[in-house]
Amino acid sequence: MATISLANGLKSLFSVLGALMLATLLYTLFTDGSPFRKQLLTPWMIATLIDFYINVTVLSAWITYKEKSWVSSIPWIILLICFGSIATSAYIVVQFWKLSSQESSQDPMYYVLLRHPHKSGTEPKSKQYAVATLRILFSVLGFVMLGTLVYTLVTDGSPFRKELLTPWMAATLVDFYINVAALAVWVAYKESSWIYAVLWVILLICFGSITSCAYVVWQLFQISCQDPAYLILVHYSDRAENKYKGLSGEAT
């Protein structure tokens, strides 16, 4: 019952968050006009957008793995780029709706995170992400964001200034933190200790994509270069038991 409640709770949570972001977007459009205005691109808005889209890259990597082909993943990635956390929330809710009652009662997070070949009756083609390449990619993205943060602090001062909180900056922050919430749910699921989970979530809130990239890289270093990268999505115990083999049809 607890796992079913978890599935329903997360489905409801991201339905509400998606609706909240849609309302925020429409309200800001009607009250403040188009976001495509040069004067809105302050140094801190640019830094926030870089932070936002690095997290979008993390989420896009998951969606690319989850979907059967590029044909189905590309539309979702385009929606992520254009509509941010509205698309994130919609995708997560869709994944929870796809769960069977048995999956919801067993481990809904596990079945949402991993691809399910048995649902279509066929197994996906054997596909291993290059772990070493992903380590480099997300390390570079993390350092890009760290450099952006330091540069903006040095050249434009503190971000905690009233004049920076324009309507579109506020909307962007809402968008950003809904995506952070999605990543935080994954981190909380993965961590065996609530102390570590809370620590990582606090770092996500404070440092955004620097933390998300660091966490992804850290998880990638917990598996070998011969392992498929999607193993970082699940608990260490699930990897050790090779539980994922039954879902993916792939072996390490």
* pTM of the full structure: 0.89
The burial class, CB within 10 Å (0-12 / 13-18 / 19+), for 7 is buried
Predicted local distance difference test score (pLDDT) of residue 239: 57
Predicted local distance difference test score (pLDDT) of residue 237: 66
Angle in degrees, CA 186, 56, 181, rounded to 5: 35
Asked if the model's pLDDT at residue 1 lies above 60, the reply is yes
Q: What percentage of residues in the chain have a pLDDT greater than 70?
A: 88
- Say if residues 171 and 24 touch (Cβ distance below 8 Å): yes
Which of 183-192, 207-216, 226-235 has the least mean pLDDT? Answer: 226-235
Average pLDDT over the chain, rounded to an integer: 89
Predicted local distance difference test score (pLDDT) of residue 122: 39
Residue 98: strand, helix, or coil? coil
Distances (CA, A) of 16 to 11, 20, 21, 173: 9, 6, 9, 17
Predicted local distance difference test score (pLDDT) of residue 238: 64
Q: Read off the pLDDT of residues 35-75 as tens digits, 9 standing for 90 and up.
A: 999 999 999 999 999 999 999 999 999 999 999 888 999 99
Residue whose structure tokens are 């350092």 = 143
Asked if the model's pLDDT at residue 251 lies above 50, the reply is no
Exposure pattern of 200-211 as b/e (b: 16+ CB <10 Å)? Answer: bbebbeebbbbb
DSSP for residue 158: -
Question: On the CB side of 41, how many CA atoms lie within 13 Å of its CA?
Answer: 4
The burial class, CB within 10 Å (0-12 / 13-18 / 19+), for 92 is buried
Q: Read off the pLDDT of residues 100-147 as tens digits, 9 standing for 90 and up.
A: 989 988 899 999 999 875 444 334 444 455 899 999 999 999 999 999
Task: List the domain range (segments joined by +) for residue 142.
Answer: 2-35+42-118+126-248
Which of 5-19, 75-89, 128-142, 158-172 has the least mean pLDDT? Answer: 128-142
Domain count, the chain: 1
Asked if the model's pLDDT at residue 240 lies above 70, the reply is no
Which pLDDT band holds residue 199 (cuts at 50, 70, 90)? very high
Work out the average pLDDT over 32-36.
95
Work out the average pLDDT over 192-206.
95
Say how many C-beta atoms besides its own lie within 10 A of residue 140's C-beta. Answer: 12
- Say if residues 208 and 55 touch (Cβ distance below 8 Å): yes
Predicted local distance difference test score (pLDDT) of residue 108: 93
